[in-house]
Amino acid sequence: MARKKKGDLVNGWVCLDKPVGMGSTQAVSFVRRLFNAQKAGHAGTLDPMASGILPIALGEATKTVPYLMEADKVYRFTVRWGQRTASYDLEGEILEQDDLRPTEAEIREVLPQFIGEIEQAPPAFSAIKVDGQRAYDLAREGVEVELEARPVVVHDLTLERILSADEAEFLLHCGKGTYVRAIARDLALELGVLGVVSALRRERVGGFDINLSAGVEKLEDLRHRDAALDALLPVETALDDIPALPVTEDEATRLKQGREIPLSFSRTQTAEDALKIRSQSGKSEHGRTLWAHRDGDIVALGELRLGQFYPTRLINL
């Protein structure tokens, strides 16, 4: 006889505005306890020194995490000139300092080099695995880690304001796998100066932005008023760039049984057009994926193949 899972069956997303000092795992535990949820996970680690959007999935929403990992992100960050640290932020050991500072004109001149598809070597203090171990664990043990450069997409990088001679604030709109600390490192290198990230805030992850977010204090207040569910977002919030496929009640029943459904020529063509638009935006993963819904309620995720929709993940709400 199967053991009953601890907690309540809660399905949906929480758009947490994570405070500085809280780790991503700690944030997931906080939200899970808040909702007494059986299952929880997050989409995209956010360093303790950073604040901002950390989407946390509860229950059936955890099945949509892989689709959010590819989403575009927006970061607001500050670079402090004149320092180089092991981690390329203020938490790392200072390795070098100098008095060189770039001018506003010099900064604006080099920014176009960082827009488009660029090659970027992730920082050693990252979650990438090297021989089965996290790179940041190896780096903390003093092991020299050199990660190979790989292509990433930067949609836009703008200088927002000069805060002082020592610091400048930037806004970054990027694709999957882009490291802000690596952007700051390479920007400083191109300018011929030293630089580290001194402040970092994530303002958007896919369809999750500041307007949908709730901070720790707000969530605790909702819990005390027995209104925590007011902060819960629909499972499909994570699928804002995955094309939707409306289905009939009979088709929804068939999908819930794990069976494919045939689509008419016109429905197939509509779906193909939507998938083509998504592909042109640079999204390569889950290239044939659609999410099926009945009157707006998600039923399944699946793939379009030869005029038929095959369910790959059933969503049991």
CA atoms of 248 and 143, how far apart (whole Å): 57
Q: Which residues have C-beta within 8 Å of that of residue 224, sequence separation ≥ 6? A: none
| Beta-strand runs (E) in 23-149 | 40-42, 51-58, 73-81, 83-85, 94-97, 116-120, 129-130, 133-134
CA atoms of 238 and 227, how far apart (whole Å): 22
Contacts 24+ apart (CB under 8 A), 250-253: 251/292, 251/294, 252/292, 252/294, 252/299
Chain Cα centroid distance, residue 238: 10
Question: Is the CB of residue 171 less than 8 Å from the CB of residue 75?
Answer: yes
CA atoms of 277 and 280, how far apart (whole Å): 5
- What sign results for the dihedral spanned by CA atoms 199, 25, 52, 135? positive
Element housing 109 (H / E): helix 104-110
DSSP letter string, 173-232: EE-TT--HHHHHHHHHHHHTS-EEEEEEEEEEETTEEGGG-EEHHHHHHHHHTT-GGGGP
| Beta-strand runs (E) in 113-165 | 116-120, 129-130, 133-134, 150-162
Cβ–Cβ contacts within 10 Å for residue 64, how many?
Answer: 24
Q: Which of 8, 17, 47, 98 is catalytic?
A: 47
89 among known catalytic residues = no
- Residue for token pair 């950073």: 50
- Residue for token pair 């920082």: 123
Catalytic residues: 47
